[in-house]
A = this chain, B = another copy of it.
Amino acid sequence: MAFRLTFQSKISQARLGRLQTIRGVLKTPLFMPIATRGVVKGITAAEVRNLKAQIILANTYHLMVNLGEDFLNKMGGLPKFMNWENPILTDSGGYQVFSLAKHRKISDRGVNFRDPSSGTEFFLSPEESIRMQKAIGSDIIIALDECTPKTVSRKEASEAVSRTVKWAKRCFQEHQKDKRGQLLFAVGQGDRFLDLRLQCLKDLKKIDFDGYCYGGMAPLKTVYKMLEKVIPAYPQDKPRYLMGVGYPNDIVESVKRGIDMFDCVIPTREGRHGRIFIRKKGIKLTEPGFYETINLPQEKLKFSRKLFSAGYDSPVCKKYTWAYVNYLFKIGDYLGPRLASLHNLAFYLNLMQEIREEIKRGKF
């Protein structure tokens, strides 16, 4: 068994676990920095490693469109190509096909789509998604799902759930042919419809996946309520991954509801725009307002000699003052977005560390 539950909170659904992957053991709950196209924007793999990131996420859709299966097979996989030695997770490509691609034609066979930036036509099927993720060389691969928009009707959501289950089975079969130690997760869909979510889970649980994701495009307010009702139906002994979430408070709320894994572009994207996350001292994680966001540049920080990342595990940032990083944003030098991305990732990774410690102390 790849996953081992090591601690279950008595006051919430929060839990601690260890997930064994090819490239190492992961402590959950965890957060994955995003290297969409095989690079965390502007940052080297060595810098991400120095932040003590346990695992990163790369996007199958973008790697399919920009690099392709043959290229990655030839180059020995993405970790080697981008010089990343720790574990890596890839999504199935489904979310991006349903949110980014144009001229999409879905059938049970798979999805035909056109990449909007190059205009090239692609085909993504369950089998192709698995083969692509094998070429990438992910430690954790995800079964292709049908991801429905926020406005989805019950009928459409129901159809997407049955297709997601059928595709998950085909992914499982494709994966069985040549497992290479890679873990395979499936995605629970069903949007805002509780019975569809539970049905989806029930069907997916019949297959022995290594982990189960919670997918969809619904707003987080509905997600919280749904998690409370659906997560108890997820297997206890398998990791649960809430895809694409979120702000620091969203992560705390979701951990309380039993989620083990997260990924999100927020720390890097917000960092590039000069929005810096800071832990507020003396306020517990489980209380509102445990962090604040500081916008750069701002006049107030012009003379601040305080170290930018004081208290965070960010070896690059902590040599510079707030005044200097503020100035970099003022003059528009791209070292600013870089230091801010590193800082925000360090904030998220430190947050996960703090969450794990609080769970262990029985306070979460």
Decide if B42 touches A333 in the complex (CB within 8 Å): yes
Does A41 count as interface, using CB distance less than 8 angstroms? yes
Q: Mark A289-313, 1 if CB is under 8 A from B, else 0.
A: 0000000000000110100000000
Contacts of A71 in B (CB 8 A): 302-303
A273 to chain B, nearest CB (A): 14
Q: Mark A33-45, 1 if CB is under 8 A from B, else 0.
A: 0000111011111
Contacts of A100 in B (CB 8 A): none
* A70-93 at interface with B (beta carbon < 8 Å): 71, 74-75, 81-83
Given contacts A46-B316, A74-B303, A303-B74, contact A41 B81 (CB under 8 A): no
Does A66 count as interface, using CB distance less than 8 angstroms? yes
A129 to B324, CA, bound (A): 23
Contacts of A319 in B (CB 8 A): 44-46, 83
Chain A interface category by residue count: 35 or more
Q: Mark A314-333, 1 if CB is under 8 A from B, else 0.
A: 00100111011001101101
Decide if A42 touches B302 in the complex (CB within 8 Å): no
Does A338 count as interface, using CB distance less than 8 angstroms? yes
A271 to chain B, nearest CB (A): 13
Identical chains in the assembly: 2
Q: Out of B42, B75, B83, which one reaches A338, CB within 8 Å?
A: B42
Does A247 count as interface, using CB distance less than 8 angstroms? no
A270 to chain B, nearest CB (A): 17
> Nearest B residue to A46 by beta-carbon distance?
B319
Does A2 count as interface, using CB distance less than 8 angstroms? no
Q: Mark A148-170, 1 if CB is under 8 A from B, else 0.
A: 00000000000000000000000
Contacts of A37 in B (CB 8 A): 331, 333
> Nearest B residue to A67 by beta-carbon distance?
B327
Does A224 count as interface, using CB distance less than 8 angstroms? no
* A17-42 at interface with B (beta carbon < 8 Å): 37-39, 41-42
Q: Out of B43, B66, B82, B337, which one reaches A324, CB within 8 Å?
A: B82
Contacts of A41 in B (CB 8 A): 333-335
Q: Out of B43, B44, B328, B337, which one reaches A39, CB within 8 Å?
A: B328
Contacts of A66 in B (CB 8 A): 327, 330-331
Contacts of A328 in B (CB 8 A): 39
Given contacts A46-B316, A324-B82, contact A75 B303 (CB under 8 A): yes
Decide if A327 touches B38 in the complex (CB within 8 Å): yes
> Nearest B residue to A117 by beta-carbon distance?
B331
Chain A residues close to B by CB (< 8 Å)? 37-39, 41-46, 66-67, 71, 74-75, 81-83, 302-303, 305, 316, 319-321, 323-324, 327-328, 330-331, 333-335, 337-339
Can you list 14 A-B pairs, Cβ within 8 angstroms, ordered by A? A37-B331, A39-B328, A39-B333, A41-B334, A44-B339, A66-B330, A71-B302, A71-B303, A74-B303, A81-B323, A81-B324, A82-B324, A83-B319, A334-B338
Task: A42-B333, A66-B331 given; name 18 further pairs at CB < 8 Å.
Answer: A38-B327, A39-B328, A39-B331, A39-B335, A42-B335, A42-B338, A44-B316, A44-B339, A45-B319, A66-B327, A71-B303, A81-B321, A81-B323, A81-B324, A81-B327, A83-B319, A83-B324, A338-B338
